Structure 1
Amino acid sequence: MIIVHDILQARENIEGVIHETPMLYSAQLSEICGNQMYFKGEHLQKTGSFKIRGATNKVKQAVKQGATFITAASSGNHGQAVAYIANQLGVSATIVVPVDANESKLNAIKAYGGTIEKCGTTSAERLPRAKVLAREHNGVFIPPYDDPFIMAGQGTIGLEILEQLECVDVVVVPIGGGGLISGILTAIKQTKPKVKVIGVEPQTANDTFLSLKNNKITAIPPTSTIADGLRTSQPGNMTYPVIQKYLDDIQLVSEDEIKQAQAFVLERMKQLIEPSSAVTVAAAINNKLGVKDKKVVCVLSGGNVDIRKLPYLSS
């Protein structure tokens, strides 16, 4: 498992590349939820999501060891982040994406200098292909979540939350493969263990929920959700033990709840977030956090939205 020291080192390593994102507050959501509601704005992060933190930490390490070609498997945000930092460091990057990847995310990967290859619809399909490409070209594969450098990079969000809101009571985090929440859990639980951390998954992509219920890593069949960044087959071998050790609670939200939360944030807070971010807000709005009169931080993990799909918000 990673420790706080790893996260502090990651913070030094990624300084100058990433933004320290703002802590937002909503009086209206606070009234609705019965808590003081704050929002960690990773949708305002460079490349549009938290992924740049872990990607920068890992790619810098790979380049330091001599890498000149890297690959990644991603539904979009991780790929954008890897393409961006690879381009900044002068190395080539190929990103393996699902065949139904968000068009805006694909365009961003190309804009950051990445080469795109499409493969399947699940992480179980695209991960092996990215690893093959790395071997064929003597390159380095950059995992989306199951890697200590990735986890430590994402954990820097936890450090920032504790500094920006010292008296925080609850932190709510989206769960995909577990890189984000395992990093945040490590930063928070090894620093201020009394702070409660709640994970949120879509009902249709509940692999971590089932894994915790079964007390072992549990894979789910291929699935679909509008929160495409959370569509993983199972939690990571490295991330799951951290989640199992530290996570206080996990909640599931429906597709309709995610849509409504995304629409609410856009309409009332004037913030454009992607569905993967909206799961934390959905859990809060629908009274799934189990707390009242507390200072709650919802992590808004990304804002890379295909604007051509926005009409669904009014359906």
Structure 2
Amino acid sequence: MMSERPSLVDIVLAVNRIRSKLCVTPVVTSTCLNDLTGRNIYLKCENLHKTGSFKCRGALNTVIKALENKEISISGFVTHSSGNHGQALAWSAKSVNLPCSVVVPVGTPLVKTNAIESYNAELVLCPPTPAARLETCNKIGHEKNYMIVPPFDHPDVIAGQGTIAVEFLKQVEDLDAIFVPVSGGGMISGIAIYAKQINPNIRIYACVPEGKMLSECLKSCERLWPNPPAFLNTKAEAIRLQQCGEITFPIMCDLVEKEVFTIDDASMIAATKFAFERLKLVVELASGCALAAILSDQLKTLDKNIKNIGVILCGGNIDINKLPWIENETKTKDI
């Protein structure tokens, strides 16, 4: 596996590769959120992107960069995904007229699998474990001679996700902190690489589901996760990987705050419902994780000088026929 981390230059080059095919996502503010938190909150709406999440940035950057390399021949692409990266790679491959296969676990929401197939990609179901995802993906890559594009643990994917920070720091120049939902760590790594070089004082906070063990791992700078890799027991399927990547974790140890915001499902569901009702934004539970973090009691313990906070609303691919607050009405916390 590639082990190098992308540089600030790699992220700037990624901006140039993808800018003609992707929009600059808007930043939304809310007086209600500012009043609730006592801080200035800026929401980066990655849910409004192509394919409904930030993942199109990393996937598209990787695909285009691969095709720039005239020394290799690309016959197609394959990945494993919880759904959002799969959609992103399927769309990216279609945009360059190459085939794509996407491996997803059984139980992936139909809103995501249907979208993957709508981009003419081959959808392959596998048992619901990280190991099965990876094994199936590698097998397809070998059999079809497709380029494997990991969902997070690849320098070009990380660089593509880092373009979020390039936009965000131009849109809001005086951000003191950015709150980022974390699964494998590609997005937070890319954001941290760029943001910390532009402003060394900015704080990058990880927002994760219960059971992630990220705080312990970051504080010790060791991979304390049990093996084999497992999925967390969370309804936020987009961020249910317990382990972060071999490339992303060292970046996080160097650049991300050791204080982690760990969010339970009920709080994520309540925050997602809040986004629908009060912010008029369709987001999925992974986005609700970061939103719940800024609405949590833990935020009150942060340095009072952290006034301007960016929040990444990472995706909006929620199944509107199975809204979690309807399924869990009796368990949902009210904000």
Q: Within 5 Å, which residues of 2 pair with 1:81-230?
A: 81-204=88-211, 206-220=212-226, 221-230=230-239
Q: CA deviation at 1:313?
A: 6.1
Distance 2:45 2:55 in 1: 13
Distance 2:31 2:303 in 1: 17
Aligned partner of 2:262 in structure 1 is 252
Q: Deviations over 1:96-140 (max 9, x none)?
A: 001010110000001111110111213232022101110111111
Distance 1:270 1:227 in 2: 20
Q: Deviations over 1:58-86 (max 9, x none)?
A: 11123334212110100100000000010
User: Aligned letter for 1:94?
Assistant: S
Distance 1:233 1:60 in 2: 30
Q: CA deviation at 1:207?
A: 4.3
Gap regions ≥5 residues in structure 1: none
Aligned length: 314
1:72, 1:144 within 8 Å by CA — same for their partners in 2?
yes
Aligned partner of 2:14 in structure 1 is 10
User: Aligned letter for 2:244?
Assistant: P
Gap regions ≥5 residues in structure 2: 331-335
Identity %: 34
RMSD: 1.4
Residue 294 in structure 1 maps to residue 307 in structure 2:
yes
Aligned partner of 2:333 in structure 1 is none
1:207, 1:235 within 8 Å by CA — same for their partners in 2?
no
Given candidates 270, 274, 284, the residue that maps to 1:264 is 274
Local SS of the residue matching 1:307: coil
TM-score (norm 2): 0.90
Residue 312 in structure 1 maps to residue 327 in structure 2:
yes
Aligned partner of 1:241 in structure 2 is 250
Q: CA deviation at 1:91?
A: 0.6
Distance 1:6 1:250 in 2: 27
Distance 2:139 2:216 in 1: 30
Local SS of the residue matching 2:180: strand
1:122, 1:233 within 8 Å by CA — same for their partners in 2?
no
TM-score (norm 1): 0.96
Q: Deviations over 1:199-230 (max 9, x none)?
A: 110013x1433422442123344432111111
Distance 1:83 1:237 in 2: 24
2:185, 2:244 within 8 Å by CA — same for their partners in 1?
yes
1:200, 1:253 within 8 Å by CA — same for their partners in 2?
yes
Distance 2:295 2:316 in 1: 19
> Which stretch shows the higher mean deviation, 269-278 or 303-312?
303-312
Q: Closer, same or farther in 2 for the Cα pair 1:210/1:136, shift >3 Å?
A: farther
2:221, 2:250 within 8 Å by CA — same for their partners in 1?
no
